[in-house]
C-alpha cells in the first residue's frame, strides 16, 4: 500500500499497462520530455523511450488520427489532448471517425485507443480551459466515457480503458490532480460500467462524478449531522452506465440529486434523471433535482468560478431546502 | 482571360475559361514497366469503368438510394497506384471510393450489394457508397469527412514503423481537401515523424461544384504546397496509368526504405458531376469534351496495342469484366435487405450496442 496523488496515479497506471503490453504507445503535446503540462506523464519517457512516448506538434486532428490509424492496424494507443476543451478542435476525428469506424464498416475495424484529457474547472483558467465536456462525448454512440475521482480509480479505470477493445475518452480532473489516496501494491485493474456507492445512506441519493464526488461527500457529512442520511454514488463511467446501481439506490432512498459540473443543458444528469423518471417513477418521494453549473461559459475570476461550479455548500443547501 | 470573362466567371463558373488537359506524353511508353503490369492496369481500369457505369445505371433505376460519387474518368489514378503497392499495404479513400476499393481486389458483388443496401453488402448495408472498407484487402476505409483520413493514414504508417514491417499507407483525396486543416496537420506530422505514407491528390479541377482554382491560393493545390513541408513537388498526368504508376513506385520505394512521406498530385477529370445529384453544369463549354478526348482508357488501349498486346487479348479482358459486372449486379439484386437484427450490432467489440446494464 502506498499513498499517491491523482496526478502520479495517471503515470502509474500508464506505466503499469506499458510494462504489460510492449506494443502500447502514447502520443501528445509536451508529454515526453516535459512530462506533460500537468506532470501526469513524468518518468514515462525515461522508462519506455522516445519510440513509445512521443511528443507531437500542436495538431489535435493529427494526434487523434494517428492514434486511430495505429489502433486499427494492431497498435493500441493512448492519445493525450492537453485540455478537454481542445476536443472541439478534433471533434470530427473523435465523433465521425473513431466512434463510428466499427459500426459503419460492418464490424471490420476495431479502434482500441484511449483519449486522455484534463477536464474541468477550479483552476481560474477561464472559459476555454476549464470546461467539463464529458457530456459532449457521452452523447456519441461508439464512445466509452470514463471520469475517475480518486487515485486508485485513476489506475484501475485507466487500465480497464486501455485493455478495452473500443475507444474510450478518459477525463482526468484538473482540480483533483493534487488529491491523495491509498493505492494497493501490485496490478490494479477495474471494470468499466460500474458505479461505486461511496457512502451509504437511506434518505436520498446524490449522484456525482469526478470533482463533484468529494463535494457531494462533504455535503453528505454535514447532512448527516443534521439528520439527513444521504447515499453518495460515484458514477465513474458514463458509458457504459451502471443503471442497476443508480436505480437500486433511488428505489431505496426515494430521492435523487445529480451533481454535475457540466453546464445545465443536456448534462449527464439529465440522462440519468430521464432513466429514473421512466423506470422507477413510483418509487420517488419527491421531484428529482439537478445541481449543475449554470448554462454559461465559465468565468475566470475566483469568486465567479466558485459561484458557478456546484460546491459542497450548494449541494447541502439544495438537499436541505428540497427535502424540507 | 479577358477582364469581362474574368468578371463574368466570378458569378457563373461556366463562363470561366476552359481548363483542358495536357497532351499525352508518349514518352511514358518507354518507362520500364513490365508488360504484365500494364495489362493488369488495363484490366483494373476496365473494371473500375464498367463497374461505375453500372453503378450509375442502377442509380438511375433508383436501386441505389442515397448518394454516390463516381470515379468515371479518374480510373488511371486508382489503377496506377494499386499496381505499385503490395497486398499488405494500406489504402485510405474518400467518399469517392468505389474505384479505390475495387482496385485492391475487393469483389464487385459485395461492393455492388453495399451500394444497393443489401445484407450481402461489403459492410452488411451499414456503410453504403461513402464508407467502403475491406480490411482483409488492406483497404482501410472510405472516409466522408474531407481530410480526416490523411491523419488516420499517418497512424497506419506509424503502426507499420512500430511493428517493423515495411508496409506503406496511401491516402487518396481530392483537390478540395488541400484547403482543410487536417491536410496540413497530416503533412507536417508525416514529415516530422518520417512516416511511410503517400498522399495522392486526385486533382479533378473541381471542389464539388466550384472550380478549385477559384478558391485556392496556388495553381496546383497539392504540388505547390509540398515544398512548404520540405517535400518534392510531384505533378503527374493522372489520366496516364503509366505516369501514375511510376510516381507511386518511386514514392513507395522511398517510404519502404525509411525515406518518409511523399505527396503526389495527379491531374485528372471526372466525366460526370460531383455526386448523383449534380449534372455538372458549372463546367465551361468544351471542357468536358476536351477531357473526354483524353479519356485514360482508350489512350491506354492504343498504347498497349503499340506495345505489342493483341487486340484480342484486350477484347477478352473487356468481355470478361463485363461478365463480372453483370454477375455482381445479379448478386446484389438477389441479396435481401439487412434483417432488423443488424441495426443494433457492431457498435462495440462484443458485437452489441449496449450502453447500460
Average pLDDT, chain B: 95
pLDDT digits (tens, 9 = 90+) for A174-186: 999 999 999 999 9
Cα(first)–Cα(last) distance of chain B, in Å?
Answer: 67
Listed in sequence order, the residues at least 6 apart from B43 whose beta carbon sits closer than 8 Å to its beta carbon are B317, B321
pLDDT in tens, B13-27: 999 899 999 999 999
Residue A293 pairs in a beta bridge with A263
CA atoms of A214 and A212, how far apart (whole Å): 6
Please tell me which of the candidates A59, A164, A166 has its beta carbon nearest to residue B189: A59
Confidence of residue B280 (pLDDT cuts 50, 70, 90): confident
For A291, other C-beta atoms within 10 Å of its C-beta total 24
A138 and A51 within one domain: yes
- Whether residue A189 lies inside any domain: the answer is no
Please state, in angstroms and rounded to a whole number, the distance separating the CA atoms of residues B64 and B1. Answer: 41
Which chain A residues are closer than 8 Å to B152 by Cβ? 65-66, 68-69, 72, 97
- Please give the pLDDT value at position A63: 98
| Model confidence band, residue B2 (pLDDT cutoffs 50, 70, 90) | very low
d(CA A143, CA A140): 6
Position B10 scores a pLDDT of 67
Tell me the CATH number at A108. 3.40.50.970
Are A161 and A89 in a shared domain? yes
A21 lies in the same domain as A157:
yes
* pLDDT for residue A44: 98
Closest residue in A to B92 (Cα–Cα): A69
Average pLDDT over residues B170-180: 97
For the residues A86-102, what does the mean pLDDT come to? 98
A116 and A164 in one domain?
yes
Residue A62 belongs to a domain: yes
Chain B residues in contact with A92 (beta carbon < 8 A): 145, 148, 182
B1 pLDDT band, cuts 50/70/90, is very low
Residue A190 is assigned to a structural domain of this protein: no
Q: Given A183, A217, A246, which residue is the final one in a domain?
A: A183
Kindly indicate whether the ipTM for this predicted assembly is greater than 0.95, answering yes or no: yes
Judge if A159 and A203 occupy the same domain.
Answer: no
Measure CB to CB from residue A166 to each of B188, B348, B357 and give the nearest one. B348
| B32-334 under CATH 3.40.605.10, yes or no | no
Same domain, A170 and A218: no
CB within 8 Å: B123 and A106: yes
Q: What is the pLDDT of residue B223?
A: 98
For B319-334, write each residue's pLDDT tens digit.
999 999 999 999 999 9
Q: Do residues A170 and A302 share a domain? A: no
The per-residue pLDDT of chain A, averaged, comes to 98
pLDDT tens-digit profile of A145-180?
999 999 999 999 999 999 999 999 999 999 999 999
Burial (0-12, 13-18, 19+ Cβ within 10 Å), B80: buried
C-alpha closest to that of A90 among B138, B152, B23: B152
Whether A188 is covered by a domain: the verdict is no
Q: What is the pLDDT of residue A36?
A: 96
Q: What is the 3-state secondary structure (H, E, C) of chain B?
A: CCHHHHHHHCCCHHHCCCCCCCCCCHHHHHCCCCHHHHHHHHHHHHHHHHHHHHHHHHHHCCCCCCCCCCCCCCHHHHHHHHHHCCCCCEEEEECCCHHHHHCCCCCHHHHHHHHCCCCCCCCCCCCCHHHCCEHHHCEEEEECCCCHHHHHHHHHHHHHHHHCCCCCEEEEEEHHHHHCHHHHHHHHHHHHCCCCEEEEEEECCEECCEEHHHCCCCCCCCCCCHHHHCCCCEEEECCCHHHHHHHHHHHHHHHHCCCCCEEEEEECCCCCCCCCCCCCCCCCCCHHHHHHHCCHHHHHHHHHHHCCCCHHHHHHHHHHHHHHHHHHHHHHHHCCCCCHHHHHCCCCCCCCCCCEC
Is pLDDT at B5 greater than 60 in this prediction? no
Could you give the percent of chain A with pLDDT greater than 70?
100
**pLDDT at res. B67:** 85
Q: For cell 476555454, name the residue.
A: A128
pLDDT at B276: 78
Residue A191 within a domain: no
The answer on A132 and A15 residing in a single domain is yes
Q: What mean pLDDT comes out for the span A80-106?
A: 98
Among the three residues A161, A183, A205, which one is the final residue of a domain in this structure? A183
Predicted local distance difference test score (pLDDT) of residue B273 = 87
Which are the catalytic amino acids of A?
A: 129
Bridge partners, residue B94, by sequence:
B143
Q: Kindly tell me if the per-residue pLDDT of B53 is higher than 70.
A: yes
The answer to whether B356 contacts A241, with C-beta atoms less than 8 Å apart, is: yes
> In terms of domains, do A88 and A175 share one?
yes
pLDDT value at A82 more than 60: yes
At A16-55, the pLDDT tens digits run: 999 999 999 999 999 999 999 999 999 999 999 999 999 9
Q: Distance between the two ends of chain A, CA-based, in angstroms?
A: 43
Angstroms from A224 CA to nearest CA on chain B:
31
Q: How far is B106 from chain A (nearest CA, A)?
A: 14
Does the distance separating the beta carbons of B124 and A103 come in below 8 Å?
no
**What Rg do the C-alpha atoms of chain A give, in angstroms?**
19
Do A64 and A108 sit in the same domain of this protein? yes
Average pLDDT of B90-99?
96
How many structural domains comprise chain A?
Answer: 2
Which residues contact residue A190 at a Cβ distance below 8 angstroms, ignoring those fewer than 6 apart? A153, A155, A156, A157, A159, A160
Domain limits for position A300: 196-323
Q: Do both A175 and A261 map to the same domain?
A: no
Q: How far apart are CA A139 and CA A192, in angstroms?
A: 17
- Contact across the interface for A106 and B90, Cβ inside 8 Å: no
CATH number, position A319: 3.40.50.920
CA B232 to chain centre: 22
Same domain (yes/no): A104, A46: yes
pLDDT at B315 over 50: yes
pLDDT in the model for residue A127: 97
> What pLDDT does B279 receive?
85
SS3 A81: strand
**Residues of chain B with C-beta less than 8 angstroms from the C-beta of A54:** 193
- How many CB contacts within 8 angstroms connect chain A with chain B? 161
What residues of B are in contact with residue A276 (Cβ under 8 Å)? none
Asked whether the beta carbons of A140 and A321 are under 8 A apart, the reply is no
Domain boundary among A183, A206, A229: A183
Statement: residue B136 has pLDDT above 60: yes
pLDDT confidence tier of residue A143, bands split at 50, 70 and 90: very high
* CB contacts, 8 Å: B148 with chain A: 61, 65, 92-93, 96-97
Q: Of A316, A301, A314, nearest to A123 (Cα)? A: A301
pLDDT at B239 over 50: yes
Taking an 8 Å cut-off on Cβ atoms, the answer to whether B154 and A73 are in contact is no
Amino acid at each position: 500500500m502506498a499513498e499517491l496523488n491523482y496526478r502520479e496515479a495517471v503515470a502509474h497506471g500508464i506505466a503499469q499497462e506499458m510494462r504489460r503490453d510492449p506494443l502500447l504507445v502514447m502520443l501528445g503535446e509536451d508529454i515526453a520530455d516535459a512530462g506533460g503540462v500537468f506532470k501526469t506523464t513524468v518518468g514515462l519517457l525515461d522508462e519506455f523511450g522516445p519510440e513509445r512516448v512521443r511528443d507531437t506538434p500542436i495538431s489535435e486532428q493529427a494526434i487523434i488520427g494517428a492514434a486511430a490509424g495505429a489502433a486499427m492496424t494492431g497498435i493500441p494507443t493512448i492519445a493525450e489532448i492537453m485540455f478537454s476543451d481542445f476536443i472541439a478542435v478534433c471533434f470530427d476525428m473523435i465523433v465521425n471517425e473513431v466512434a463510428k469506424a466499427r459500426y459503419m464498416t460492418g464490424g471490420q475495424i476495431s479502434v482500441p485507443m484511449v483519449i486522455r484529457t484534463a477536464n474541468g474547472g477550479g483552476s481560474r483558467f477561464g472559459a476555454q480551459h476549464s470546461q467539463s465536456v464529458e457530456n459532449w462525448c457521452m452523447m456519441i454512440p461508439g464512445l466509452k466515457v470514463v471520469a475517475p475521482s480518486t487515485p486508485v480509480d485513476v489506475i484501475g479505470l485507466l487500465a480497464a480503458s486501455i485493455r478495452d477493445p473500443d475507444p474510450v475518452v478518459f477525463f482526468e480532473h484538473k482540480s483533483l490532480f493534487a488529491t491523495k489516496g491509498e493505492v494497493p501494491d501490485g496490478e490494479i485493474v477495474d471494470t468499466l460500467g460500474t458505479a461505486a456507492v461511496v457512502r451509504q445512506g437511506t434518505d436520498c441519493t446524490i449522484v456525482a462524478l469526478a470533482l463533484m464526488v468529494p463535494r457531494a461527500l462533504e455535503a453528505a457529512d454535514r447532512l448527516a449531522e443534521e439528520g439527513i442520511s444521504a447515499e453518495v454514488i460515484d458514477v465513474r463511467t458514463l458509458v457504459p452506465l451502471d443503471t442497476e446501481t443508480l436505480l437500486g439506490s433511488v428505489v431505496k432512498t426515494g430521492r435523487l440529486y445529480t451533481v454535475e459540473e457540466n453546464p445545465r443543458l443536456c448534462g449527464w444528469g439529465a440522462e440519468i434523471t430521464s432513466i429514473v423518471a421512466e423506470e422507477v417513477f413510483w418509487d420517488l418521494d419527491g421531484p428529482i433535482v439537478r445541481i449543475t453549473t449554470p448554462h454559461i461559459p465559465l468565468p475566470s475570476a475566483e469568486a465567479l468560478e466558485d459561484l458557478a461550479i456546484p460546491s459542497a455548500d450548494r449541494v447541502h443547501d439544495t438537499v436541505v431546502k428540497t427535502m424540507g | 482571360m479577358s477582364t469581362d470573362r474574368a468578371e463574368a466567371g466570378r458569378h457563373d463558373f461556366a463562363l470561366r475559361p476552359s481548363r483542358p488537359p495536357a497532351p499525352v506524353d508518349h514518352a511514358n511508353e518507354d518507362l520500364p514497366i513490365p508488360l504484365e503490369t500494364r495489362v493488369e492496369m488495363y484490366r483494373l481500369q476496365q473494371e473500375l469503368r464498367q463497374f461505375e457505369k453500372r453503378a450509375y445505371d442502377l442509380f438511375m433505376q433508383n436501386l441505389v438510394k442515397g448518394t454516390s460519387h463516381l470515379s468515371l474518368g479518374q480510373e488511371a489514378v486508382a489503377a496506377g497506384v494499386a499496381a505499385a503497392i503490395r497486398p499488405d499495404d494500406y489504402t485510405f479513400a474518400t467518399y469517392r471510393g468505389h474505384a479505390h476499393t475495387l482496385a485492391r481486389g475487393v469483389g464487385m458483388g459485395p461492393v455492388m450489394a453495399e451500394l444497393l443496401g443489401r445484407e450481402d453488402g461489403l459492410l452488411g448495408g451499414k456503410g453504403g457508397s461513402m464508407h467502403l472498407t475491406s480490411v482483409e484487402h488492406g483497404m482501410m476505409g472510405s472516409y466522408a469527412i474531407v481530410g480526416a483520413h490523411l491523419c488516420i493514414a499517418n497512424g497506419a504508417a506509424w503502426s507499420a514503423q512500430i511493428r517493423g514491417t515495411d508496409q506503406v499507407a496511401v491516402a487518396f483525396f481530392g483537390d478540395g481537401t488541400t484547403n482543410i486543416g487536417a491536410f496540413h496537420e497530416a503533412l507536417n506530422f508525416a514529415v516530422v515523424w518520417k512516416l511511410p505514407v503517400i498522399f495522392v491528390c486526385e486533382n479533378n479541377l473541381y471542389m464539388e461544384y466550384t472550380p478549385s482554382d477559384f478558391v485556392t491560393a496556388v495553381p496546383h493545390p497539392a504540388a505547390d504546397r509540398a515544398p512548404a513541408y520540405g517535400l518534392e513537388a510531384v505533378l503527374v498526368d493522372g489520366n496516364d496509368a503509366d505516369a501514375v504508376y511510376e510516381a507511386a513506385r518511386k514514392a513507395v520505394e522511398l517510404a519502404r526504405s525509411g525515406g518518409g512521406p511523399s505527396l503526389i498530385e495527379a491531374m485528372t477529370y471526372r466525366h460526370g458531376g460531383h455526386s448523383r445529384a449534380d449534372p455538372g453544369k458549372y463546367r465551361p463549354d468544351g471542357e468536358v469534351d476536351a477531357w473526354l478526348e483524353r479519356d485514360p482508357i482508350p489512350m491506354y488501349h492504343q498504347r498497349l496495342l503499340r506495345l505489342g498486346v493483341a487486340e484480342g487479348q484486350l477484347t477478352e479482358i473487356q468481355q470478361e469484366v463485363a461478365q463480372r459486372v453483370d454477375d455482381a449486379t445479379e448478386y446484389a439484386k438477389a441479396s435481401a435487405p439487412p434483417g432488423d437484427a443488424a441495426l443494433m450490432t457492431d457498435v462495440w467489440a462484443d458485437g452489441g450496442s449496449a450502453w447500460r446494464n
